[in-house]
Amino acid sequence: MSRFYFLNLVLICSFLFILGCSQPVSNPQNTFSLLPSVAEKYFKGKDSRIDVNTLKFAYSPTGDSLPLLYGMTKQIQRVDQPENAQLEFSIQEDKSQSPESYRLEITNEKIIIQAQSQAGLFYGFITLNQLIEDAIAQDTPLPLLEINDAPKIAFRPIQIDVKHHLEKKSYYYDLLDELAQLKINGIILEIEDKLQYKRRPEVGSADALSIDEWRAISDYAIARNIKISPLVQGLGHASFVLKHEKNKHLRDDPASDWAFNPLDPETYEVQFDLYLDAMEAFPHGKYLHVGGDEVQTTGRESGKSALELNLIWLNKVTAFAAEHDRTPIFWDDMPLKQAGLMRPIYDAKMPKATVDSIWQANEPKLNRFIEQFPKNCVYMRWNYHMAESYGNGKAMDWFSSNGFQVMGATAGQTRWTLMPQRESNIDQIRIFAEQSINRNYNGLLLTLWDDDSPHFELYKRGINAFAEFSWGGLKRSKEEFKKAYRHRKFGPRFQSEYYAFIDALDKPVGVWTNLLVEEGIHRNSLNQRENPIEEHIIDLPDFDNKGAWSEKYAERLAKLEAQRKIVEKVQNTLQQIQTEGTKADYNLKVYNQVGNLVDYNFRLMQTLNTFDIAQTDTQEADALETLNEMKAEFNQVRAKFEEVYSQTRILNKPEGYILDQDHHRHPANQSVNFDWQFTSELMLLQKIDNHFKTRSVLMEGTKTQME
């Protein structure tokens, strides 16, 4: 009897084990991964009976119209009778709630969305679409759940910086749809010379979009709850205006195209004309960003202090903004710098006592001019790498405590070459979001600078991080966000760390950046240096001192050997994701080109090393043959790189384009064609050609000669 009981028990346990393995219990928290995070969600432990494939009809008891819809929700149609609908939606305004808030409930038979406004309704349907996408992708029913959601930060704009290049128009429209689905509700568009100014036609580039073309993009954005406000640079960063002969007399320094003379009345005639055209192009924006950073003027040696001159200019441009019903935004760094208060902002390790002592000594310099700081202005505290510093908070609090409006600015791209690094700067984005939430600031900007001009697709993870932490707050850790990003961007099956190829590229790209230049030189500076090929591009192997080259660059060679294996793994991961299928195929193609260029440089260095350590004539000849092949291969690597990038962006500047004086070494401003992207590679290949041709005698009787 006991044996029979034991055998039955074993069979039952085995059956339950097999059943458990074949039908795992799903965890809706993992199955349904919303981005950005919602404020509150309650899974009720059961599945809804609603079939997402037949979800087609919606009813509004308040007579509201359906918002603009995405994805699977696009099939939903509004009906007049509730009994015909699986979805009920309404706008029920409550002044005590955020206007973008909404409630979403999934019951057994119905989905209910209630919102405070059309914007909230729009976002409620976006959240529903993410739930439906996950249900279909993972072949699982919708869960019974309730969501109550609202943003942590009201104004959540990103910067689009077009000063060095434009995307194709279709890309901007696609981008707006993508931003809308991340609940981004603003854009600060740094326009510079990419607008055809009708009042100052000399300023606009030949490839600039017209006022009507930009207005059409702005109209498309506002229909998706995104308000575009222009950023027209001045007092400094004015090269796009002052490089032109017609405007050179307005320079603060006659030899420099960097800054306007703030004491010349004509300065304001020009700037106001630019503002007027920009506001026409972006009529729905609340703000006019006037720039004002990184500049110290003298007023043509007027004797006035830089701070006094800065405030003279600021008062004039902010008054103009107010007259035209715009709230001006001003980068706040110059008054702080001119008062001697910048150092604590960028030193997170500085003791609080030291910071306080610096403020105690220098704050009076600010207070002396406090009545001249315009009250209608938003003072934008930008800090891209040290937002956590006590000095950064101290600066923000000075403005707030004196009754000024403050907004922070973090970054998804600063001066990184080829692609954003430091994990897309997620840590800093999260920190500044936390500071903005804790200080109850109205907005936070994500800057995406075009100075080094990586492809915009490479900004997408940083944009998603910004959306996550500005809307959802700090619910997710950095690693939890990355998992959610992979889930939403590439698909649920790619959420594990195995597919974390962006982070894996960080170090290889860092090694790539200055791999081909001498120590202490940055590739971005090459075009400004005298004799860069001979003096600043790396040396080449010495025919009469073999092995010395490998010894000199041993540290680099060791780094690239390890990093090349990582690049190879990244390329395999990208291929796997593309083979299995993803909706982000173009994004992966761009990353693949980044990996290919990095890998090319690594192999080029390894080939030089092979030549340097060659022990026989045959080994030398083989290395020379490989070098010759790599010269030809570079043309293929570049051609493919440009083919992929040019699908969405305009690579070359128009004929007759005037490059400015390039004060900050922006590589995208260093050539009218796309050569700037490959400056180090082009110079090294030329150096290789010259170097080996001078010793053609070494190649007599070998398999190859340098061509």
Report the alpha-carbon distance of residue 618 to residue 567 in Å, rounded.
Answer: 30
CB atoms within 10 A of CB 171: 17
Q: What is the pLDDT of residue 592?
A: 98
Q: Is the pLDDT of residue 10 over 50?
A: no
- List, in order, residues 6 or more apart from 120 with CB less than 8 Å away: 91, 98, 99, 100, 101, 102
Residue 583 pLDDT: 85
What is the pLDDT, as a whole number, of residue 367? Answer: 96
CA distance 235 to 486: 41
Over residues 624-659, the pLDDT tens digits come to 999 999 999 999 999 999 999 999 999 999 999 999
- The whole-number pLDDT of residue 694 equals 64
Give yes or no for residue 262 having a pLDDT over 60.
yes
- Residue 403 neighbours by CB under 8 Å, 6+ apart: 375
For helices 426-438 and 460-471, what crossing angle results, to 10°? 20
* pTM (2 d.p.): 0.94
**28-149 sits in which CATH class?**
alpha beta
- Give pLDDT, residue 696: 54
Lowest mean pLDDT among 5-14, 341-350, 617-626, 692-701: 5-14
Buried b (16+ CB within 10 A) or exposed e, 648-658: bbeeebeeeee
CB atoms closer than 10 angstroms to residue 138: 14
**Mean of per-residue pLDDT scores for the chain:** 93
Map tokens 């936390």 to a residue.
434
Q: What is the 3-state composition of the chain as percent helix, strand, coil, each rounded to the nearest 5?
A: 50, 10, 35
Q: Would you say residue 590 has pLDDT above 50?
A: yes
pLDDT band at 16 (very low <50, low <70, confident <90, very high): very low
The three-state secondary structure class of 158 is strand
What ranges do the domains of the chain cover? 28-149, 157-475, 504-699
Average pLDDT over residues 71-95: 95
How much is the average pLDDT of 19-36?
61
The per-residue pLDDT for 95 is 87
Alpha-carbon Rg for the chain, nearest whole angstrom, is: 29
Q: Please give the average per-residue pLDDT across 393-403, as a whole number.
A: 97
Using the predicted structure, report yes or no on whether residue 706 has a pLDDT greater than 80.
no
What pLDDT, in 10s, does the model give residues 593-627?
Answer: 999 999 999 999 999 999 999 999 999 999 999 99
Q: pLDDT exceeding 70 applies to what percent of the chain?
A: 94
pLDDT of 7 > 80? The answer is no
pLDDT attached to residue 31: 84
Which pLDDT band holds residue 707 (cuts at 50, 70, 90)?
low
Across 240-267, average pLDDT: 98
CATH class given for the domain over 157-475: alpha beta
The 102-106 sheet, strands edge to edge: 40-47, 143-149, 102-106, 111-115, 87-91, 57-59, 77-78
Q: Is the alpha carbon torsion for 276, 278, 281, 282 positive or negative?
A: negative
Rounded distance between C-alpha atoms, residue 527 and residue 523, angstroms: 8
Characterise 319 by phi-psi region: left (phi > 0), alpha (psi -120 to 50), beta (else).
alpha
* Structure token digits, residue 585: 């195929």
Which of the pair, 582 or 454, is modelled with greater confidence?
454
Q: What's CA 484's distance to the chain center, in Å?
A: 18
**pLDDT tens, position by position, 457-492:** 999 999 999 999 999 999 999 999 999 999 999 999
**Range from 174-178, 187-191, 223-227, 541-545 carrying the lowest mean pLDDT:** 541-545
Question: Distances in Å between the alpha carbon of 147 and those of 39, 396, 601?
Answer: 8, 34, 50
DSSP 604-661: HHHHHHHHHT--SHHHHHHHHHHHHHHHHHHHHHHHHHHHHHTTTB--SPPTT-----
Q: pLDDT grade, residue 30 (50/70/90)?
A: low
Tell me the three-class secondary structure of 205-252, residue by residue: CCCCECHHHHHHHHHHHHCCCCEEEEECCCCCCCHHHHCCHHHHHHEC
Angle (deg, nearest 10), helices 617-645 and 585-612: 160
Residue 194 has pLDDT above 50, yes or no: yes
Among the listed residues 129, 12, 154, the one whose alpha carbon sits nearest the alpha carbon of residue 75:
129
Among 341, 351, 350, CA closest to 395: 341
3-state secondary structure of 301: coil
DSSP state of 167: B
Outline where 324-367 has alpha helix (H).
Answer: 333-338, 352-367
Query: What would the pLDDT profile of 540-578 be if each residue is shown by its tens digit?
Result: 999 999 999 999 999 999 999 899 999 999 999 999 999
Choose the weakest-confidence range: 25-39, 136-150, 363-377, 656-670.
25-39
